[in-house]
Amino acid sequence: MKKITLLFFTALVATFMWNSGYAQTACSQETLGGAEVEDGYGNLQLLIFANDLVIDADTAFTLNTIQFNVLVTPGVPVTGVQFYFYKNSASGNGPGLELGSTAVQAPTSITNVGTAFGFDLMQVSTDLAVPYTLVGSATESISWVGVTIEYSGASSYMEVVTALNTPNESYFLANGIWVPGSDPIDGFDQAADGVMSFFGNCDAIASCAGMPDAGIALVNPTMGGPGTSYTVSAQGYTVNAGMSFQWQSNTNGAGWVDEGAPTVEVLAYSATAPAQVGDLVEWRFSSTCTNSSETAISGVATFTTTEVEYCDVLFPSGVEPITYVNFAGIENTTSAATGGAPLEDFTAQIASVNLGEAYPIEIKGNTDGAFTTKIVAYIDWNQDGVFDNATGSNEMYLLPDIFSSTGEDGVSSIGSITVPTSAIMGNTTMRVMKRFNVVAAPCNITGYGQAEDYTVEVSDATTSIDENNLLAGTSLFPNPLNGNTFYVNAPKLNGENIEVRIVDLAGRQIFNNTLVVNNNKLTVSVNDALTSGMYLVTLKHAGEVHTYRLIKK
């Protein structure tokens, strides 16, 4: 696990107190900043930071408003916030099972309450679009509320205070593990509470009667690549004794089926995306009052399987470019000038590899002087949308360093990449990265360097495609489509004519043309013919027909 950046403040800064503008109730809990900013933990746009919340015995706390303090780059706004709700862990140390989450929403208000060491200290207040109810037990209990932000700056830090006013210190979620701030290795070596306050209403838990409130279902994220994980949660449902809840799903309109067993509380449900791009999964839950036998059905939330989208990359200190990549059919020379894009998209260039085979790779780059840069390549072999850089990962390839190179001389990094036999066949993404003095993480946000993305087509050399069935080896990208042009990867059909027909889900024809495959791909430009939605793309060649689902954002 990587060390999280700690921003430590030791001096007196602008004097202020954070005073809530919201009336407290018996359930409200405030952790306030003081006249001095003690610490900031980050990055809040990359991690979830959570504070604990005490719930009285036999009480339900309906959370309406959340406020927190965050340090951000001056002039860079917080554009969105998302909150997560958890039970206490079985050990009593940190968050446990996820209960649910909110959708990303814009803050209700953002107020500048000070400055510190070049950062603005912002008080962010959010009235939840749908209030969330945390249910207590027969004795006093602990729940947890986590927060993350949408923000385009390089760094953001949750303000924290070392005077704890809750039973537990703040935790953060990193690589799927909850880490206490006091952890001396992966944390910040200091126990602290996030400056975060919760406002809402307390109600005694009563027995249900009559028709319960149905509530709504939420999915997070709402789209993702085949095989990726997502979470289904709920809001706005009846919270009383005597309730029973059941999750249900409906894939591609095949019909509603129960997921898991009925429960007496609504827990977030962990689901896996279907394998086919374009698959739609609807989610809902039933709320049954066992006293009245009345059942209400929630609103529906939808998950869509899409082509995988990868994290962004930043090199805020400066871009020192990769100038040459040669790998498995890719040979790409680019400018040696510094100061370009931190992440370049070359996914239209495709490397073709076979399971279990090894391929040489050569990288060149400009070190901008007599400096050492570390070279690494990541390949998402399991197509889960994540470049795995854990110790021993088969998706991470450390290559030789480059020292004192202009990027246009004879200096290069030469290594070898072996394709795992467990790799999923089809198209995936390779990210080549170059960074000064340190191996770049897949989602790098600091230092000098550059990254480039390419497409890798994985095949099984022991399985041949019949000459009369060549469309079986094609694939469509990008999907979802943001612009007006997409491509069909067809490496076995160079020079061949392919008929392309696009229809919407109502059967209306949008596009029909015969195009020629060049440089291993077919280029399909639809101008402004497609609006947001789903379409069916049918390819025809030599009597063979193959259809893909295409999503237009």
The pLDDT score that the predictor gives to residue 12 is 29
SS (H, E, C) 443-488: CCCCCEEEEEEEEEEEECCCCCCCHHHHHHHCEEECCCECCCEEEE
The reply to whether the predicted model has a pTM over 0.85 is no
**What pLDDT, in 10s, does the model give residues 439-461?**
999 999 889 999 999 999 888 76
CA distance from start to end of the chain: 35
* CA-angle at 513, arms to 512 and 517, nearest 5°: 135
* pLDDT, tens digit (0-9, with 9 covering 90-100), for 496-527: 889 898 877 666 778 888 999 988 888 998 88
CA-CA distance, 553 to 11, in Å (whole number)? Answer: 48
Of the two residues 129 and 364, the one the predictor is more confident about is 364
Identity of the residue numbered 295: T
Mean pLDDT of 288-294: 94
Q: Is residue 5 pLDDT above 50, yes or no?
A: no
- Return the pLDDT at 96: 93
pLDDT band at 473 (very low <50, low <70, confident <90, very high): low
Q: What is the pLDDT of residues 299-326, one digit of tens each?
A: 999 999 887 778 899 998 999 999 999 9
Per-residue pLDDT, averaged over 9-28, amounts to: 44
pLDDT at res. 14 = 31
Mean pLDDT of 104-133: 92
Residues 217, 168: Cα–Cα separation, whole Å: 30
Share of the chain above pLDDT 70, in %: 92
CA distances from 175 to 43, 179, 386, 489, 545 (A): 14, 10, 11, 33, 42
> Does residue 34 surpass a pLDDT of 90?
no
User: What percent of the chain clears pLDDT 90, i.e. is strictly above it?
Assistant: 49
For 402, residues 6+ apart whose C-beta sits below 8 A from its C-beta are 363, 364, 365, 367, 372, 373, 375, 411, 412, 413, 434
- What element of type H or E holds 348? strand 343-354
pLDDT surpassing 70 at residue 98: yes
| Average pLDDT of the segment spanning 294-298 | 95
Residue 418 clears pLDDT 50, i.e. is over it:
yes
Quick one: pLDDT at residue 74?
A: 93
Mean pLDDT of the region 31-58: 89
Amino acid code (one letter) for 367: T
Residue 285, SS3? strand
The band of 128, judged by pLDDT with boundaries at 50, 70 and 90, is: very high
Average pLDDT over residues 370-389: 91
Provide the sign of the torsion angle of the four alpha carbons 187, 106, 277, 345, taken in this order.
negative
**How far apart are the C-alpha atoms of 250 and 111, rounded to whole Å?**
43
Report whether pLDDT(383) > 60.
yes
424-435: buried (b, 16+ CB within 10 Å) or exposed (e) per residue?
beebbbbbbbbb
CB 56 within 8 A of CB 202: yes
Mean pLDDT across the stretch 4-25?
Answer: 38
Return the structure tokens found at 218.
Answer: 């939420």
Give the pLDDT mean for 161-173. 92
- Specify the DSSP class assigned to residue 366: B
Contact of 168 with 146, CB cutoff 8 Å: no
**Buried/exposed code over 158-194 (b: 16+ C-beta within 10 A; e: otherwise):** bbbbeeeebebbbbbbbeeebbbbebeebbbebbbbb
Q: Which two structure tokens, joined as six digits, stand for 80?
A: 């969105």
pLDDT band at 421 (very low <50, low <70, confident <90, very high): confident
Where do runs of H (alpha helix) occur along 156-255? none
For the residues 370-378, what does the mean pLDDT come to? 97
Predicted pLDDT at 470: 67
Mean pLDDT of the chain: 86
Provide CB contacts within 8 A for 22, sequence distance 6+: 28, 65, 67, 125, 199
What pLDDT was estimated at residue 25? 62
**Does position 468 have pLDDT exceeding 50, yes or no?**
no
Is the pLDDT confidence value at 491 over 90? no
Let me know how long the chain is: 553
Whether 443 and 313 have beta carbons less than 8 Å apart is answered as yes
**Does residue 291 register a pLDDT over 50?**
yes
pLDDT of 4 > 50? The answer is no
The predicted model gives 164-185 an average pLDDT of: 89
In the predicted structure, residue 413 carries a pLDDT above the cut 60: yes
Q: Six-digit token pair at 536?
A: 């069916």
Q: What structural domains and CATH numbers belong to the chain?
A: 6-204 (no CATH), 214-305 (2.60.40.10), 318-459 (2.60.40.10), 468-552 (2.60.40.3080)
Contact 476, 535 (CB under 8 A): no
- State how far the alpha carbon of 442 is from the alpha carbons of 157, 199, 324, 395, in Å: 21, 38, 19, 11
